[in-house]
A and B are shown apart, each in its own frame.
Chain A
Amino acid sequence: MSDAVGLVVGTEDSTPLKFHVAVAPDAYLQLDDVVVTQRLIPGVGPVMTSGIVTEVRSRHEGASFGSDVFLIADGVLPAQVQEIAEITTTRVDPEVYVPPRPGEPVRRAQGEERARALYFDQMDKKVPVGLGRDGQPVYLNLEFLNGVRGAHVSISGISGVATKTSFALWLMHSIFRSGVLGGGGRNSKALVFSVKGEDLLFLDKTNVRLDDDLRADYAGLGLPAVPFESVGFFAPPTPQDPTGRPHVTGRTSGVCAFWWTLAEFCADGLLPYVFADVEDERNQYTMVVHNVATRLKFEAQAAGVDGAVTIEGKTVRTYEALVDFVVEKLSDDSTRGTWAGPAIGQGTANAFIRRLISSVRPLREILRGDLQKSDERVVSTEGQQITVVDLHNLQERGQRFVVGVVLAAETRRKEASGTGSLLFTMIDELNKYAPREGNSPIKDTLLDIAERGRSLGIILIGAQQTASEVERRIISNSSIKVVGRLDPAEASRPEYGFLPPSQRQRATLAKPGTMFVTQPEIPVPLAVEFPFPAWATRLSECIPGDLVALPAPASGGTSTAPAPSVFTRLPPTFEDDEPPF
């Protein structure tokens, strides 16, 4: 066999699931290479064992002491350099689990053999997810994404270098544009919550660094190198602006301001979303929350079309006024029983009041009764394929409120409309919305999506710096687990047990643009590199003139660095300025 890269070694145990290969002197094996070996079994025929290189080591044979290397280099002591590659089996075909025998040749898997080794031949619908170390495409099985056999994606990695958001967007681009969704693709939607800057407000603009090389990379994966086409952008209203313009600086057109009217707040019972730990049974005041919400639902009457409400004869136009009204009712001994519920003491009511008052500042911009009626203010995925909700100008409490309310509404809408299409929901900083400890309405919604979303067609794409701080049931329900660069302490946590030790170590030095992707069918995570975004990820990456009424770059809150050369692209490095994820 002339294409053999080495032989199975006999000095280490060879097992059906892990074996070692002595690399031939003129050959090499690197991590992530796919290799295959064959064993002839009487009565069965040839059994192909395929695997991935998970470790390679090189050492002097014939040397006993560390200092022998100097003698060997001096040409005094005879020795031989030998490289041994550790192979973790991915597939045994047919399924006769016998170890490869020492001395059997091992060859690099290419073409059809590589596809078989990585189970690509069994995937009816393949989503390209990037290029492997060998420069060949690596695929995900759509059935583990669209809910047929599994759903949800969990992406972990250090902020800044793990490129979590970039990968999530790349994955969505791949799902939408590779044609795997078929007829249902047109109705499939994505909902993206953006928490870091205005980076995601330029998804529909071509990246200025898109060149022929990058187009070739996309073409190699069977994808068009184009920006997202049908995108809707939502941002909160500008503070103290009576007209309700969206609070964005980089992009001025095509962004809709979103808010909830006080009438909706009362009628839909959104009050629990204001509180972070409202389902925590150790807290007394949670009963007050539900009583007040019920009261508001029955007492508040819409006043006019702008969203103001009239409660017990008093017209309320701002969230601040609404809070004042509730506080007054609870502070008064004569009305506390009606509003807070029976047998609620002053102390419990005060606990509620403290939390309610502290919510005024984070929420007063998005709960309004004083802005002119607008049809575009409602965050909905109906009008476009990708819906981006910009949260970065909101405080954390406001961000939680928006995510919770929007997700609950979309979940209800999906429940009503059935499973004909998919809704991909991308949430960054998942640990903020679904922390491991405690309970909240948002976490309940997310858990509901994680556990039931598969059948509803809601697919969660969650990103977090530390999977160990996210609710365990959400992580365990994710079929696809993706890891970028990890913090060394984080990498040793049990949440990353799916990574073999060598990959765990490697994840601590993964470059931007490199991710380890685990899917249920393939027992070893695959290292992939995904191409640089074809869409702009910041204002400076937009082609000048592409944005209507583009403001002067100096006034923008985004990068003020000069646009990098057209020829520098990822996987090379990001600059030190604000990263696009």
Chain B
Amino acid sequence: MTITVPMTYSVEAWDPSYGTTFATEEQDGLAGSEAELEVDIEVPADRWRAVSPRPGVKHPQTVLFVDGVRRVDARIWISQPERVDDLDDGVALGLCASYASGVTLCQHTAAGNTARVVGSQIRRGLFTTAVTASTIDAPGGNYHAHITDADPATPLPQLLSAELQQRLADLEVVTAVAARDQLAPSQQEGDLLVVDGPLRGRQHLPRTLGYIKTHHSRYLEVEQNRLVAQLEPGQRTPVFRMGTNWKRFSWYLRLPYREGAPWAGIVRVECSADLAAAEAVELAYLSQAVLVRYASSEIKDPRAPQNLYPIAGLEKELRRRLGNPQILHRSLRTRRPR
């Protein structure tokens, strides 16, 4: 369907970070769930103990870290004259968002150590339920319209935000695959891909770890959960499997951290449940060797040590490449047809 009539909209005056003036508070997409749990993957449940790093695990020459950032540049109200009689006063909410994904390629070879940002991609989108929505011109990339069907069960801002998150996740897969494809075949052999956040939708990528910094749910039983707080830096829990409609192998790992709360420095790492259990355990040992190296220091990062240096650097770079929000906000205001 091609819409030729110029779309009309107005821009919400509040800064997007304050939320909208009327809508309910935006919720994080990750709601807790009572997942099924299998803890005797690596060792029987009654013999759970902290697993120390295994000596001799080789650090891969190439490690890729994938991450994405998103930013709502403006909330707009799109006029829908033909639906004036409907509930929503003839206007529909739209999110003008910029999102980007990129890869930090860390290479540790005899020729030297390098870390660089490769294959970053920036997108801008207009997320709305208004069928009249069309692309908005903006400097450095137009806002392409992504029209979502309204769902009465979900609050509208949450629906749009989830749609944005889905687009970003798709983009992350694209950049991760592209970055891997650009590597020389010899480098692809033993590489490791670390995805910031859960693996959702990315289980099919080989040699891939999901890296979860924040813990919204308690997955383990009380006895096992106690072990997490007792982990020494570098140690991890045994591998367990969990999930309902989605399944993952997962384990908790404590990164080097000087002091703090019982769960300070704890991250959850997951990999695809399609792997054999032995392969998952190998990946778990590999994660102990790799992730600790990139853990950030608390004097440099407010989210230390979980916010890994390559990901922090990548996010900083991606946020910069999203463009200046003031200029984008201004262009949305000034370029709209009156």
Contact = CB atoms under 8 A, between A and B. Distances in A.
A74 B313 CA distance: 14
A194 B70 CA distance: 76
B300 A78 contact: no
Contact of B115 (A64, A65, A67, A78): A78
Interface string A438-480: 0000000000000000000000000000000000000000000
A80 interface: yes
Given A78-B313, A79-B313, A72 B115 contact: yes
Given A62-B313, A71-B309, A76 B300 contact: no
B27 interface: no
A77 interface: yes
B115 A77 contact: yes
Contacts of A313: none
Given A62-B313, A62-B317, A71-B309, A78 B116 contact: yes
A75 B108 contact: yes
Contacts of A72: 115
A351 B129 CA distance: 107
A73 interface: yes
Contact of B300 (A64, A73, A74): A64
B113 A75 contact: yes
B294 interface: yes
A65 to B, nearest CB: 6
Contacts of A76: 106, 113, 115, 293-294, 309-310
A73 B107 CA distance: 11
Contacts of B313: 62, 77-79
Contacts of A77: 115, 309-310, 312-313
B166 interface: no
A72 to B, nearest CB: 7
A62 B311 CA distance: 12
B114 interface: yes
Contacts of B300: 64-65, 67-68
Nearest to A65: B300
A68 B317 CA distance: 15
A71 B104 CA distance: 14
B66 to A, nearest CB: 13
Contacts of B317: 62, 78
Interface in A30-77: 62, 64-65, 67-68, 71-77
B113 to A, nearest CB: 3
A74 B314 contact: no
Given A62-B313, A62-B316, A71-B309, A78 B104 contact: yes
Nearest to B107: A75
B283 interface: no
B242 interface: no
A139 to B, nearest CB: 46
Nearest to A67: B300
Interface string B301-322: 0000000011011101100000
Nearest to A68: B300
B4 to A, nearest CB: 34
A62 B102 CA distance: 15
The number of chain A residues touching the other chain, given as a range, is 10 to 19
Contacts of B115: 72, 75-79
Interface residues of B, number: 20
The listed residue with most A CB atoms (<10 A of its CB), out of B107, B114, B293, is: B114
B117 interface: yes
A67 B299 CA distance: 11
Interface in B285-338: 293-294, 300, 309-310, 312-314, 316-317
B316 A75 contact: no
A75 B293 CA distance: 10
Contacts of A62: 313, 316-317
A62 B313 CA distance: 7
Contacts of A68: 300
A76 B116 CA distance: 9
Contacts of B312: 77
Nearest to A74: B113
A102 to B, nearest CB: 14
Contacts of A67: 300
A80 B309 contact: no
Interface in B75-133: 104, 106-108, 112-117
- Residue among B106, B107, B309 with the highest chain A CB neighbour number at 10 A: B309
A123 B35 CA distance: 86
Contacts of B104: 78
A62 B300 CA distance: 13
B156 to A, nearest CB: 37
A64 B317 CA distance: 12
A80 B313 CA distance: 11
A62 B321 CA distance: 12
B141 to A, nearest CB: 17
Contacts of B107: 75
Nearest to B297: A67
Given A62-B317, A65-B300, A78 B117 contact: yes
B65 to A, nearest CB: 9
Nearest to B299: A65
Interface string A349-382: 0000000000000000000000000000000000
B114 to A, nearest CB: 5
Interface in A282-329: none
Most buried by B among A62, A67, A68, A78: A78
Contacts of B114: 75
Nearest to B108: A75
Interface in A64-100: 64-65, 67-68, 71-80
A73 B316 CA distance: 18
Interface in A95-141: none
Nearest to B313: A78
Nearest to B294: A76
Nearest to B320: A62
Interface string B129-169: 00000000000000000000000000000000000000000
23 contacts: A62-B313, A62-B317, A64-B300, A71-B309, A72-B115, A73-B113, A75-B107, A75-B114, A75-B115, A76-B106, A76-B113, A76-B293, A76-B294, A76-B310, A77-B115, A77-B309, A78-B115, A78-B117, A78-B310, A78-B313, A78-B314, A79-B115, A80-B116
Given A64-B300, A80-B116, 20 more contacts: A62-B313, A67-B300, A72-B115, A75-B107, A75-B108, A75-B114, A76-B113, A76-B115, A76-B293, A76-B309, A76-B310, A77-B310, A77-B313, A78-B115, A78-B116, A78-B310, A78-B313, A78-B314, A78-B317, A79-B115
Q: Lowest 7 CB-CB distances: which A-B pairs, in order? A: A75-B113, A78-B313, A78-B115, A77-B309, A75-B115, A76-B309, A78-B117
